[in-house]
Structure 1
Amino acid sequence: MFENAKAAFLQALRAKGVSPRTAVNYREAMDQLIGFLVSLDPALALEDIRPAHIRGFLAELRERGRCDNTVQCRFRALRTWFYFLEREGMVPSNPIKGVQAPIVHVHAVVPYTEDEVRRMMAAARHWPALALRDQMAIALLYNTGMRAGELCTLLVENVREGTVLVCGKGKRERWLGLEPVTARLLTTYRVGRDGRYVFGLSVTGLHQMIKRLAWRANVPHAHAHRFRDSYAVAFLENGGDLETLQTSLGHASIETTLRYVMYGRERRATEAQRKFAPFAQAG
Structure 2
Amino acid sequence: MLFEDVLEEYMYHCRARGFTDKTIKNKNQEYKQLKQFLKEKRAITELESITVHDLKAYVRVKQKDGLQAQSIVSMFKMIKAFFSWCEREGYIKENIAKKVETPKLPKKVLKGFTVDDVQAMIDAFSYKNYLEARNKAIIAMLSDCGLRAMEIRGLLSVNVKETNILINGKGNKERIGFISPALKRILIKYERLKKQYFQDKLTTDHYFLSYTGNDISHVALDNVIKEAGKRANITGKRVSPHTFRHFFSVQCILNGIDIFSLSKLLGHSELSTTQRYLQSLEDFELIEKAMPSSPLMNMRK
TM exceeding 0.5: yes
Contact 2:80 2:95 in 1 (8 A): no
Q: Distance in 2 between matches of 1:175 and 1:101?
A: 36
In the alignment, is residue 237 of structure 1 matched against residue 236 of structure 2? no
**Which has the larger displacement, 48-57 or 223-232?**
48-57
Q: State the shift of 1:112 in Å.
A: 0.7
In structure 1, what is the equivalent of residue 29 of structure 2? 31
- Post-superposition Cα deviations, 1:45-70, rounded to whole Å, max 9, x if no partner, equal 66287214531465379x4557x3x6
* Residue type of the alignment partner of 1:209: V
What whole-Å deviation, never above 9, does each CA across 1:6-40 have from its counterpart, x for those lacking one? 543322323xx32241x5314313314535876x7
Q: 1:248 aligns with which of 260, 265, 270?
A: 265
Matches within 5 A, 1:184-223: 184-190=185-191, 191-192=194-195, 194-199=203-208, 200-220=215-235, 221-223=238-240
Look up the match of 2:59: 55
Counterpart in the other structure of 1:226: 243
Q: Percent identity?
A: 25
Contact 1:242–1:257 (CA under 8 A) maintained in structure 2: yes
Separation in structure 2 between the aligned mates of residue 60 and residue 209 of structure 1, nearest angstrom: 38
Rounded Cα–Cα distance in structure 2 between residues aligned with 1:258 and 1:3: 37
Instruction: Give, in angstroms, the shift of residue 178 of structure 1.
Output: 0.7
What whole-Å deviation, never above 9, does each CA across 1:219-272 have from its counterpart, x for those lacking one?
A: 23212111112112222333444443333223344444445666557234689x
- 2:29 & 2:22 partners in 1: Cα distance? 10
CA contact (8 A) 1:116 1:219 kept: yes
SS of alignment partner, residue 47 of structure 1: coil
SS at match of 2:176: strand
* Residue 152 (structure 2) pairs with residue 135 (structure 1): no
The total of aligned residue pairs comes to 262
- What residue identity is the alignment partner of 1:196? D
Per the TM alignment, residue 82 of structure 1 is displaced from its structure 2 partner at its CA by 4.1
- How does the TM-score come out when normalised to structure 1? 0.71
The question of whether the paired residues in 1 share the 8 Å contact of 2:268 and 2:274 is answered with yes
Change in 2 beyond 3 A, CA 1:94/1:232 = closer
**CA pair 251-149 structure 1, distance change in 2 beyond 3 A:** same
Task: Say if 2:55 and 2:97, in contact at 8 Å, map to a contact too.
Answer: yes
Amino acid at match of 1:140: M
Instruction: Tell me the distance in 2 between the aligned counterparts of 1:107 and 1:64.
Output: 19
Give the unaligned 5+ runs of structure 2. 209-214, 289-301
Cα separation, 2, equivalents of 1:259 and 1:201: 29
**Secondary structure of 2:45 counterpart:** helix
- Provide the rounded CA distance (Å) in 1 between the counterparts of 2:234 and 2:24: 33
Amino acid at match of 2:245: R
- Kept in 2, the 8 Å contact 1:155–1:196? The answer is yes
Find the counterpart in structure 2 of residue 116 from structure 1: 117
1:39-188 mapped onto 2 (5 Å cutoff): 43=40, 47=45, 50-56=54-60, 59=63, 63=66, 68=70, 71-84=72-85, 96=97, 98-101=99-102, 103-124=104-125, 130-188=131-189
Contact 1:124–1:130, Cα closer than 8 Å, also in 2: no
Amino acid at match of 1:75: F
Looking at structure 1, the residues matched to 22 and 157 of structure 2 have their Cα atoms a distance apart, in angstroms, of: 24
The 3 A distance-change label for structure 1 pair 239 and 99 is closer
Between 171-180 and 109-118, the greater mean CA deviation after superposition: 109-118
Q: State the distance in 2 between where 1:57 and 1:179 align.
A: 51
What is the TM-score normalised by the length of structure 2?
0.67
Query: Which secondary structure state, in structure 2, belongs to the residue aligned with residue 165 of structure 1?
Result: strand
RMSD: 4.0
